[in-house]
Structure 1
Amino acid sequence: MGENRELATAMAELDMSQAELARRVNAETQQLTGKEGSLTDRDIRRYLRAETAWPQHKQRLGLERVLGRPATELGFIPRSRRARQAQAEDPLHRRTFLVAATGTAVAAATPARRSRPGQSDADRLHREYTELLRDDSRLGGARRIENTAVELAARIQSSLAGGGASDRIRRQMYRLASDVTCSAAFAAIDASAPQRARTHLDKALTLAGLARDSETMYRVWDHLMLTSSQRENHAEAAAGAEVMKRSSVARRDPLYASLGHMRHANALARLHQPTESLRALNLAEKAFGRARGEQPSAWISFYSRAEFDALSSYVWTALGEHERAEFGLHRTLAAIPDGMVRNKALYTAHLSLSQARQGELELACATGRRAYGMLLPSSGSQRTTNTIARTRQVIEATGTRAPEVMSWIEESRRWT
């Protein structure tokens, strides 16, 4: 029995299961024809075993769109030279193929008759986005999360390409496309790839403008501020936070105002402006108190009391108040939901770092080991492993020769 290694490699690069590939190909078939496809994981297994040398036309197009490369580069072999020529000359194929290795759509299918996108389409795409957020909260910056978000955003935009949508649906879809693209950017941020994140955010900013929605624009600025901070450009981060806290949604909603002040406090602390930083932190606390009891929108619901304490701990760390940072992190870890695996591991790693900076070396080692153990095997949270690496640097700088600590140092090198 043969084996289609090219297809297996393409799936592995996207960390994509057989069932997930079948689902996405079916979704692409629906985009092309208006009818959902019927591909199953059993069909994908036949492709992987090379039992099907040349899939049917619709399945072939779907595979190419999802995996971002021609069928011949996915290990499929045309039945004849005539079939190869037909593929090359097929105008539908030329119109529909997506050719960016990153998963970015550069062309979209335009069937002769295309249904007008409506609320049911927006709801279906939003359900996929909700599923993506659940995966992100568990896995963090896995490349699969980022690529899935890019692919979903491309399909949302493709659904609007034929026109016909009402203004309400069009704005709703552009907002969703921006939110999804921000999710791709945040996955890149968590993977410590700020330049890649900025590329996503440039697109998200355009989509947010088309949505004409202040909350959507706010989220883009929040993530832009994070990329600036990750690149150690704290002056730019402070300027981005200023945009956030002066936005119309921040003037309207104290929760958005609080997050803007919190981001500003972090940037100012890293610019060595402690008085201004503490003033911003105090404003964040007051605004957060006014927001209690209000129902937040889907994205900013992450900004709970547990998250407030965690972000406050970053301010205290930058100001050299490591004991206060540790206190805030303990509060966070006591309150954060178990399902937020990525954040729980990240904040546990920061707790380890704060303990190391206070000279609690053995405790820091134990906490760091616990943080790494929380990460799922397919996690891509480079921020967490980078924090563990900084903990190791702090411990090594002490010159300790304690056997337990030296053992942890060697063990942790394998994690980072």
Structure 2
Amino acid sequence: MVSTGAVPNLAFRRLRGQRSAGEFAAAVRRSAREIGERVACDARYIGRVESGEIRCPNYAYERVFLHMFPGMSLADLGFSPRESVRGRGARATTEIPSPPVFHSEAPVFHNCTDEESDVLRRVFMTSGTTTVLAAASLGLGLGGAPAAGATEPDRHRVGETEVSAVESAVRRIRLLDDRHGGDGLYRDASRPLRAAYALLDSGSAARRSTADRLHAGAGELAISVGWLAHDSGRFEDARSHYAEALATARVAGDAALEAHAFCNASFLARDTGRPRESVRAAEAAQRAARPLGSPRLLALLALREAGGRAGLGDRTGCERAIGRARTAFDRGPCDADPEWMTFFREAELEMLEAQCWSALGDWSRAALHARRAIRLQDPHFTRNLALYRAELAWDLARAGRTEEAATAGHRVLDLLDSVRSSRIRTMLAGTAQALAPRRDADGVRGFLERYAAVSGVSTAAARGVQRPRG
């Protein structure tokens, strides 16, 4: 086991007291809101502080901690002086962004030094030997394997073998997610993500092109793992991973990665009831994407904006964004389309429009688009097919078309043996709740009984369920 030399922060641990790391993280987020900050604090971050991995917080966290503990200094909280952390004096001009903080007009980023970032740095392996272990671990838990013939690289070099391993891990995660959903993959996928950032930390690549690919691969891996967290209901983890990817994009000057990170941040904000933030993130994504020359990417980002505007009840703004999306989509695919957009076909466009009409309460129109999505969907995307059917069941139930809703619900249940997605299960629970008062209608009782047997809960237990907006 390689020692990182970290010294535990016992002072900070004492301040947490009897609260769990998750409870303390929630208190940090509440304190941040009190002073107009927004930090992606979770139990993992608190653990990193207490273990000594984070020796000095970034400026946003510093303001929050000093607000939480009036009269105390960073030293009182157990942190090291900023200028002493990893030779800051020699690199005082090196800055990278913290997680995104959305205010009233546009996304704003707080700056912090390289060693202060709580989202980019994962300094746990630095030697040549551990770099090889990092590359090997990119296949763990995902059925992958390190590239054949890998040898120990020079401590200060990352080459084709390591970068290809990162890129392969991204593709493998996406493939498994398409088939099975995020619930069963998230924890295993976190390991190759840590390994990818260890490679980023371990030294410089031999060529600039290799370094650029490594940054892009690590960022895409962070988004993929963030999506697994998102799909499995771990929203704070998802927010942290998306912020990590965004920081990586800003460091590398990678507009394509930045657009992707903002795209997913917009989706997450919509799903967690922050539609205004969703709109701003989608607009930021579109600004990053315009020079990239991909109409299909702009179409997807316009639909992210439409989803946020639907959440705001802005029907006119939503319709305009959908119109822009369809115009851009009709321009067709091109070589500039990002690799990660393989899921974005006509079926997904129909589904995202269905979600917009659903958010606006136009259930029949939403069901029309959900049916089109199901008809157009490639059966290879099993998780998405289950999602589309869950959307249809949800919309039909609220439109009062109970028998059709029950039939659609049965078809979702048919897929749950192979698909594990908390989002889909939550949507199905909401459908069961909506249908419960009509349990004597044709087909409804059978669906409710089967749903209860599969889910392990009664339909009464689903009362009060808040449907994720995706």
Match of 1:119 in 2: 160
Q: Secondary structure at the residue paired with 1:272?
A: coil
> Is residue 445 of structure 2 the alignment partner of residue 406 of structure 1?
yes
Q: TM-score normalized by structure 1?
A: 0.69
Aligned to 1:303: 344
2:273 pairs, out of 213, 232, 245, with: 232
Mean CA deviation greater in 330-339 or 279-288: 330-339
Q: Which consecutive aligned stretches of 4+ in structure 1 deviate over 4 angstroms post-superposition?
A: none
Counterpart position of 1:208: 249
Distance 1:226 1:194 in 2: 11
Which of 201, 209, 230 in structure 2 is aligned with 1:161?
A: 201
Residues 252-291 of structure 1: pairs in structure 2 closer than 5 A: 252-291=293-332
Give CA-to-partner distance per residue, 1:34-81, whole Å, 9 cap, x none: xxxxxxxxxxxxxxxxxxxxxxxxxxxxxxxxxxxxxxxxxxxxxxxx
Please name the residue that 1:382 is paired with: 422
Aligned in 2, Cα 1:369/1:209: closer, same or farther, shift over 3 Å? same
**Residue 160 (structure 1) shift:** 3.5
Unaligned residue ranges in structure 2 (runs of 5+):
2-120, 130-151, 456-470
What is the DSSP-based 3-state SS (H/G/I as helix, E as strand, rest coil) of the residue aligned with 1:247? Answer: helix
Identity %: 24
* 1:365 equivalent in alignment to 2:406: yes
User: Do the aligned partners of 1:192 and 1:230 also contact (CA within 8 Å) in 2?
Assistant: no
Aligned length: 312
Name the SS for the 2:197 alignment partner. Answer: helix
300-309 vs 286-295, greater mean Cα deviation: 286-295
- Superposition map of 1:49-64 within 5 A: none
* Whole-Å separation in 1 of the counterparts to 2:442 and 2:367: 25
SS of 2:435's partner is: helix
Task: Indicate which of 378, 381, 393 corresponds to 2:433.
Answer: 393
Query: TM-score normalized by structure 2?
Result: 0.62
CA distance in 1, matches of 2:390, 2:273: 20
CA contact (8 A) 1:188 1:194 kept: yes
Q: Distance in 2 between matches of 1:403 and 1:328?
A: 24
Cα offset, 1:354, TM superposition: 1.8
1:198 maps to which of 235, 239, 245: 239
Of 189, 193, 215, the match for 1:149: 189
User: Contact 2:223/2:261 (CA < 8 Å) preserved in 1?
Assistant: yes
In structure 2, what is the equivalent of residue 346 of structure 1? Answer: 387
* Maintained 8 Å contact 1:250/1:256: no
Can you list the C-alpha shifts for 1:247-306, whole angstroms capped at 9, x where unaligned?
A: 244673222221121111111112111111111111111111123455622112221111
Q: Return the alpha-carbon distance in structure 2 between the equivalents of residues 238 and 308 of structure 1.
A: 18
Q: Helix, strand or coil for the counterpart of 2:202?
A: coil
Q: Is the 8 A contact 1:245 1:251 kept in 2?
A: no
User: 1:2-57 deviations in whole A, cap 9, x for unaligned?
Assistant: xxxxxxxxxxxxxxxxxxxxxxxxxx9xxxxxxxxxxxxxxxxxxxxxxxxxxxxx
Distance 1:108 1:297, change over 3 A: same
Q: Distance in 2 between matches of 1:304 and 1:152?
A: 28
CA contact (8 A) 1:146 1:183 kept: no
Distance 1:268 1:250, change over 3 A: farther
Name stretches of at least 5 consecutive residues in structure 1 with no aligned partner: 1-27, 29-103
